[in-house]
Amino acid sequence: MEGVVLAEWKGITLADEDRVEVATASQTLENVRAEGFVQCGVSAQVPGFSFTDDAGNWQGFDPAVCQAVAAAVFGDASKVKYTAATGKTRFTALASGEVDILVRDTTWTLSRDAELGFNFVGVNYYDGQGFMVPKALGVTSARQLDGASVCIQTGTTTELNLAEYFRLNNMNYEPVPIETHEEARTNYLAGRCDVYTTDASDLAASRAAFDDPGAHIILPEIISKEPLGPLVREGDDPWSDIVRWTLNAMITAEEYGVTSANVDDMVANSDNPEVRRLLGAEGNIGEALGLNSTWAYNIIKQVGNYGEVFDRYIGANSPIGLQRGINAQYKDGGLIYSPPIR
């Protein structure tokens, strides 16, 4: 394939044998380092996914991504500040620079990727929209919801999916608009709507927090694809790379069995080249990201690999009780997969 032209870049012909280094400063990284913390946009009070503990500290599956970025950049996962954003305010918060990363059950769609000036840098949870109803309603399928009142978060793909599903199935519904998950749960439990619809994972999280979870059922229909993941502003590729490869490092660590408990032993004793590159025991792959050689080691040691974070906050043995399903590693039949770290 010698001499095959791969691309044209600013008048330079790049062939497969060429190596061109393009060094670009990251304004976001410079600002983050100057501030001394990563500013992270998250959902407010979604059990398992994004919540504050009894001491007021943010925890959950989504904040863990921001903590991992802080570990990569500062070597300290605690250097994060949080902004609770709603479906309406999240994009403004990111576009304005109020937050550096948005990790808030936000679905990757073409229009959001191409029109809003953001970059989705990966998927940390593959989801789909579902419906929850009181068991006393006597409904077993979404096809039986004609005429129902539905609590629906405005400004979301959920709102659009709902309208399309009911139209395709020649059904009517009465929307009960809400802005936050907490408001939806309050209205639903108070009987102001017959149905609560959102991502199925959020429904499971909400039901787990109810006083009587068994009084509510999640219907079997999943009506959409909802790939959820972190996003950043367009125009700062080095920062995009840092957030993208932070998530990939967590995924890779799980693939190769590197955990927060054994990472020190892996640094000292692993003979797997991919693991050694990941942990900085061989070369300095972090240099390409503007980070030091222990960037991924710090992520895994302080936050954990992808599977550890999943199990801790939302897994089968957590109060949320989610199975890995399509969020299993690719080698286990799921969709979770990282490009090579080399």
pLDDT, one tens digit per residue, over 170-202 is 999 999 999 888 899 999 999 999 999 999 999
pTM above 0.85, yes or no: yes
Mean pLDDT, residues 215-222 taken together: 96
Distance CA 234, CA 120 (A): 9
One domain for residues 140 and 288: no
Q: Is residue 114 within 8 Å of residue 223, measured between CB atoms?
A: no
User: Residue 10: is its pLDDT beyond 80?
Assistant: no
- Tokens for 19, please give them: 């190596």
How many structural domains does the chain have? Answer: 2
Q: pLDDT value at position 6?
A: 36
Summarize the confidence of residues 158-164 as an average pLDDT. Answer: 95
Which distant-in-sequence residues (6+ apart) come within 8 Å of 141 by Cβ?
219, 220, 221
Of 224, 248, 268, the residue at which a domain comes to its end is 224
pLDDT at 73 (0 to 100): 98
Is there a domain that residue 1 lies in?
A: no
Task: Tell me if 231 sits within 8 A of 119, measured CB to CB.
Answer: yes
Boundary (domain end) residue, out of 224, 249, 273: 224
pLDDT at 218 over 90: yes
Check whether residue 198 and residue 237 sit in a common domain.
no
**Comparison of pLDDT for 91 and 9, the residue scoring more:** 91
Q: Quote the radius of gyration of the chain (alpha carbons, Å).
A: 22
Q: What is the spatial distance between Cα 340 and Cα 291, in angstroms, rounded to a whole number?
A: 18
Domain hosting residue 183, numbered range: 129-224
**For residue 24, what pLDDT is reported?**
54
In a domain, 171, yes or no: yes
| Structure tokens that stand for 64 in this block | 């863990």
Residue 96 contacts residue 41 (beta carbons within 8 Å): no
Q: Is residue 338 part of a domain?
A: no
Yes or no: say if 133 and 219 are a contact pair by the CB < 8 Å rule.
yes
Tell me whether residue 31 is in a domain: yes
4 inside domain: no
Cβ count within 10 A of residue 198:
29
> Looking at the structure, do residues 22 and 96 belong to the same domain, yes or no?
yes
Q: Which among 205, 224, 243 is the end of a domain? A: 224
Write down the pLDDT at residue 181.
82
Judge whether 340 lies within some domain: no
Evaluate whether residue 341 is within a structural domain.
Answer: no
Q: Work out the widest C-alpha separation in the chain, in whole angstroms.
A: 69
247 and 309 part of one domain: yes
- The rounded mean pLDDT for the chain is 91
CATH code at position 84: 3.40.190.10
Average of per-residue pLDDT across 138-149: 97
Rounded distance between C-alpha atoms, residue 280 and residue 105, angstroms = 32
| Residue 337 within any structural domain of the chain | no
- In sign, the C-alpha dihedral spanning 14, 16, 19, 21 is positive
Are residue 37 and residue 176 in the same domain, yes or no?
no
